[in-house]
A and B are shown apart, each in its own frame.
Chain A
Amino acid sequence: MGKVIVVTSGKGGVGKTTTSAAFAAGLALRGHKTVVIDFDVGLRNLDLVMGCERRVVFDFINVINGDANLNQALIRDKRIDNLYIFPTSQTRDKDALKREGVERVMTELKKDFEYIVCDSPAGIEHGALTALYHADAAIIVTNPEVSSVRDSDRIIGLLASKSRRAEKREKPVEEHLLLTRYSPERVQRGEMLSVEDVREILSVPLLGIIPESETVLKASNTGMPVILDAQSPAGRAYDDAVARFAGEQREMRFALPERRGFLRGWFGRAAS
């Protein structure tokens, strides 16, 4: 039976889609048959980030409505074996994610895939709740910033009360904190909440720290999950996070600024 992972945050624009793409790619690269589903109905973007926008024929809503079957809608990634993309629809109908339909699709996917990564929309409405409902594990994407941390706390509450596992009184959803867009330099200057701060406030185990990096934009420009860019600090940080998710021990990189030369080291110390 496949494991369902929801990538969620409450707040918009914190890096859910970037993370979903990187995570799904990372899991597939490790040999796991993985599908990544776009739950952001109306604002389809995962296809662009994954670079398969021109191959979309049928979508999630078509399958829910029975207008297409799964095999017709799933897009096989051309670069990575074992990786499939399940795009969403651009319909403006907010209730298109029908409960029974989603349930049927998830049951079917769980039979065929080891991991089902769900890219949640922002907010705490129908789309976000549907995305987290089936989760076995949740990656809570958080930026080191007040509103993002508060919204993550809200989502953690919803995972504990509104998920299928909560409803059926099963083992709770496994929670993982992923801190993204992190700037160690700004943390050191006292301008940004630190990993320790966020971890202490949310009390969720830390899966990884993804540094703020220009390479993320470059990757999405070209439709390539950033984890495939071995030169990218964010890509390497995502690779660490996926490894940890799979149970490996990896040192927590990118928590501290890179030391560059004597002067910078001296000023850094003097100001801290």
Chain B
Amino acid sequence: MSLFDVFFPRKPASAAVAKERLQIVLAHERAGRDGPDFLPRLQKELLAVVAKYVAVKEDMIHVSLGKAGNASVLEINVEMPVTAKSGPMRAATA
């Protein structure tokens, strides 16, 4: 640190902030962009099937396409309602 820095302490340069923000937002956008466009439909149909057995709401199913090494991984997350009264749920928690 030079004497200059002692008298004029610097904030992180705004360009560095810009770079970091861009890297984060673009990583996100690129992942979404490369995904196949059947994902929203798949999510909807899965919801319909799961809803036959468990009381799930639309925002409780997440379908995404990720990467693990060289393979693409289709990840399906179903959030189970805590108060679910259905058979399979009780069996699982018993």
Binding site for B on A (CB under 8 A): 145-146, 149-150, 153-154, 157, 187, 189-194, 197, 201, 270-271
Contact = CB atoms under 8 A, between A and B. Distances in A.
B22 A146 contact: yes
B51 to A, nearest CB: 34
Contacts of B16: 190
Nearest to A270: B4
A150 B26 contact: yes
B67 interface: no
B82 to A, nearest CB: 40
- For chain B, give the interface size range: 10 to 19
Majority-rule SS of B interface residues: helix
The 3 closest A-B CB pairs, nearest first, are A190-B13, A270-B4, A197-B19
Contacts of A146: 18, 21-22
Interface string B12-34: 01111011011101100110010
Contacts of B2: 270
Nearest to A158: B33
Given A187-B15, A192-B15, A271-B4, A201 B23 contact: yes
Contacts of A270: 2, 4
Given A157-B30, A270-B2, A271-B4, A190 B14 contact: yes
A193 B33 CA distance: 25
Contacts of A149: 22
Contacts of B4: 270-271
Contacts of B23: 201
A183 B79 CA distance: 51
A187 B16 CA distance: 10
Contacts of A191: 13-15
Contacts of A187: 15
Nearest to B25: A150
A187 B14 CA distance: 10
A193 B13 CA distance: 10
A201 B22 contact: yes
B27 to A, nearest CB: 10
A37 B13 CA distance: 41
A201 B16 CA distance: 12
